[in-house]
Structure 1
Amino acid sequence: MRLISTLLIAIILLTGCLNGPSLDKPIAGAGTGNEQISSEPQAEAKPEDTSFHTDGEQPGYVQPPENKRNDADYPEADGDTEAVWMAVGDIMMHMPQLPAAYDKQRKRYNFNPFFEQVKPILEEGDWTLANLETPIAGKSLGYSGFPRFNAPSELAEALKYAGFNIITTANNHALDRGAEGLRLTLNNLLAQGFTVKGTARSKAEADKLTIVKHKGIRMGLLAYTYGTNGIALPKNKPYAVSIIEEATIIRDIGRLREAGADFITVALHFGTEYQAQPNDRQKALARKLIAAGADIIAGSHPHVVQPYETVETTAGDGSPRRGLIIYSMGNFLSNQRGDMKDFGVIYKVRIHKDKSGMTTIGDVQPIPTWVYRSGLKGSYRYMILPLERAVDSRQIKELTDADYESLIRSLDVMVQRITSMAAASNTKK
């Protein structure tokens, strides 16, 4: 383990980064994540190239310390200032994730325990983003998993508890419950105080520029998806889900720059599912958007982690500019297991603004995560774990030495995968 830690530190120093892996052995039965409570798991779909179109402790867990974030504690500086951008990949809610989270006494769901171990990390961010890949329209539209999701509205409360403050909703499951599901999802997210981007209830909401300011730094935010699984956009509401169109994205980047954004994040739901490397169309689009003025591309959809890279380009005034492309952050939360689908990455990126107003991307630190699933079928329990810490501390007593060795091997694979393009981009400089 010391060797892996040393390798991680060396990579961070050379490329500005860190990462995570996959335990394929079922702790209590395996599944694709597509199963319904009343039926057997469904067969997993073949990869598709979609680049453009309880508050109580659970057994075996270590209770993390409280780490409350309060922006009022960080007054704006007159000179240089720095803030932290954080993001995770897909948050999904398959049906097996529901039963054990239901509190029969209170007659409501409590998903907070899913996030307890990563909460202190997420609260370090000023902008902390997640891609919500399920409607959370609530009980009125019925709960369901794959292929057309709908989760309890209490998930929004848990995301707030975990430390997220920005949610992107442009993905292929945005219309799983139609226009009404989209509307209720937005209502539930906005009721928790989230900044939301990617879907809209009105043309005015869709056209509104999203700029979020922390510590004197203004981040512009955009979010788009390749499509909606063949579900047509609501009649007379083509704005309901933001679809990837290169010219439109470039135009929106320009609008944010004109409105005073210091840096711009573009969340893209694109790529080929279950592929460890980005395809050519992903790379071409992401690099064009960086050249057009985007600073960070936050990718999702493949359900496995793909590499990140830094790209050197030129700003409008001719000065050099560094962009960050994260092709896929994997699954942050789901019931999918095996083949690296139960692993994800928290990205922690430092954003620096100097006295002249120039904003730059600083250190990039990927933090690998693993969705630990315990219990028996019908009552699974879930916990997102910071993987390296879990392996070093061996905090889950239910795992065997062989389980931990498998996790260590997976961690090593993830480190190499995530940093493979970062090392290449550094070599080209």
Structure 2
Amino acid sequence: MPIKRTRRSGTVAAALLLGAAATSGCGLLGAAAEGDGGGGGAGDHPFTVAFGGDVHFEGMISTRLQSAPDTVFGPIAAEFRKADLAMVNLETAITEGGTPAPKDYTFRAPPAAFQALRTAGLDVVTMANNHGMDYGEAGLQDSLAASGRAGFPVVGIGRNAAEAYRPWTTTVKGTKIAVIGATQVLDDNLIESWTATDAKAGVASAKNAPRLVQAVQRARKEAHVVIVNLHWGQERNSCATPAQRQLAGQLADAGADAIVGSHAHVLQAGGYLKGKYVHYGLGNFVFYNGSGPTAQSGVLTLTFDPKVKDTRVTKASWAPAVVTDGVPQPLAGASAQQARTQWEGLRNCADVKAGPAA
């Protein structure tokens, strides 16, 4: 059964049967999913979910991970710890083996990465991205096994498509939540070998929009709140692309309450679309490459009110930061206010609004 653990702001159901799932073939969720059906349970109290962008453990971060994994995220971790639920995009394979993929950049990290994530206050990660299989299927299997041993939930990858598209579910303050991960970004020469199918391990591909829409529709029937974390957009383009906009609309129509993502290495716009909350790009987070626009970072915290029927995200707050030596350092005072103003201005080249009725 799921094990409850208390966070500062609430109680979260942590799926710690991943280890058994990894060896039994029953999927990443296994018995940890709470299937109460019919749109899931709805609590009476608002709750918060915090999001960060791209995370890997390369370069100077690798040294820090080896010597002091509990300090890797630095002071920005306070934003995750005070939220009821928190997640990032884990843009690396968790393996010490495998064969590097034929691409320019390959990332991997040891299983200690899960300790660093948990200590920082994170509850779940997506590994559906263009680095999740950097060390091949063997590296993917290692990632799944490490996730299982650590009891740390991962979405967006699996031993087959059913697992890769399957949501992680948890209950926060009485409300059942489903979290799905998928990627719209894959190297052209690797799309076929990396995409999970009914018979092959891989990542959940958002290039197959109907399959992702179906996953959201199914999750909508089982949970009261549905969150989709996507890897999408164009590198160094702060404007939402047509492909992003189209997919966001499809997922909003399918029943997603919040759609957040990363990949561009720069911040993109966040706001309301069709009454749902969409954040197109959270930028780099714990990431070795950051200067100028690629160093602009932060934590997005969404407040959900399960009693609101059409627009369950009632508030979005942005805690700005700047990546320094691979770690996002929180901004304060005038610098923070200026960064928030710039973040608000990103909506000028996106289809999202400041409020649900705007």
TM-score scaled by length of structure 1: 0.66
* Structure 1 residue 86: Cα displacement: 1.1
After superposition, the Cα gap between the structure-2 partners of 1:137 and 1:427, relative to the gap in structure 1 and judged at 3 Å, is closer
Q: 1:273 to 1:265 in 2, by over 3 A?
A: same
* Correspondence 1:367 to 2:319: yes
Q: Which runs of 5+ in 2 are unaligned?
A: 1-5, 14-40
Q: Quote how far apart the aligned CAs of 1:417 are.
A: 3.5
Query: Is 1:299 aligned with 2:261?
Result: yes
Give 1:401-412 correspondences, 5 Å limit: 411=339
Deviation at 1:293, TM superposition (A): 1.2
CA change 1:180–1:417 in 2 (3 A) is: farther
**Residues 263 and 359, structure 1, Cα contact 8 Å, conserved in 2:** no
2:279 aligned to which of 315, 320, 326? 326
Q: For residue 122 of structure 2, what is the aligned residue in structure 1?
A: 164
Do the aligned partners of residues 413 and 142 (structure 1) sit closer, same or farther apart at CA in structure 2, a change above 3 Å counting? Answer: farther
Residue 211 of structure 2: aligned partner: 248
Tell me, in whole angstroms, the C-alpha distance in 2 between the residues paired with 1:154 and 1:270.
27
Amino acid at match of 1:201: R
1:212 and 1:146, CA in 2 relative to 1: closer, same or farther beyond 3 A?
Answer: farther
Distance 1:113 1:266, change over 3 A: same
- Unmatched segments (≥5 aa) in structure 1: 1-66, 104-109, 313-321, 374-381, 393-406
| RMSD of aligned alpha carbons | 3.3
Q: What is the one-letter code of the residue matched to 1:284?
A: Q
Match of 2:73 in 1: 115
Q: SS in structure 2 opposite 1:363?
A: strand
- Equivalent residues of 1:94, 1:149 under 8 A apart: yes
Match for residue 330 of structure 2 among 373, 383, 386: 386
What letter corresponds to residue 267 of structure 2 in structure 1?
Answer: V
For residue 87 of structure 1, what is the aligned residue in structure 2? 51
- Give yes or no for the alignment of 1:98 onto 2:71: no
Q: Which amino acid aligns with 2:321?
A: T
**1:132 aligned residue:** 90
In structure 2, C-alpha distance between the alignment counterparts of 1:174 and 1:233, rounded to whole Å:
9
Amino acid at match of 2:265: H
Q: Quote the offset at 1:177 in angstroms.
A: 0.1
More off after superposition, 411-420 vs 145-154: 411-420
Tell me the residue number matched to 1:226. Answer: 184
Deviation at 1:359, TM superposition (A): 7.2
Whole-angstrom distance in 1 between the partners of 2:268 and 2:315: 19
When residues 422 and 124 of structure 1 are mapped into structure 2, their CA distance, relative to the original with a 3 A threshold, is farther
Asked if 2 retains the 8 angstrom alpha-carbon contact of 1:178 and 1:234, the reply is no
SS of match in other structure, 2:108: coil
Bigger RCO (CA 8 Å, 6+ sep): 1
Q: Does the 8 Å contact 2:93/2:139 carry over to 1?
A: yes
Give the structure-2-normalised TM-score. 0.78
For the residues of structure 2 that align with 1:262 and 1:409, how far apart are their CA atoms? 34
Q: 1:206 Cα shift?
A: 3.5
Contact 1:266-1:298 within 8 A present in 2 as well? yes
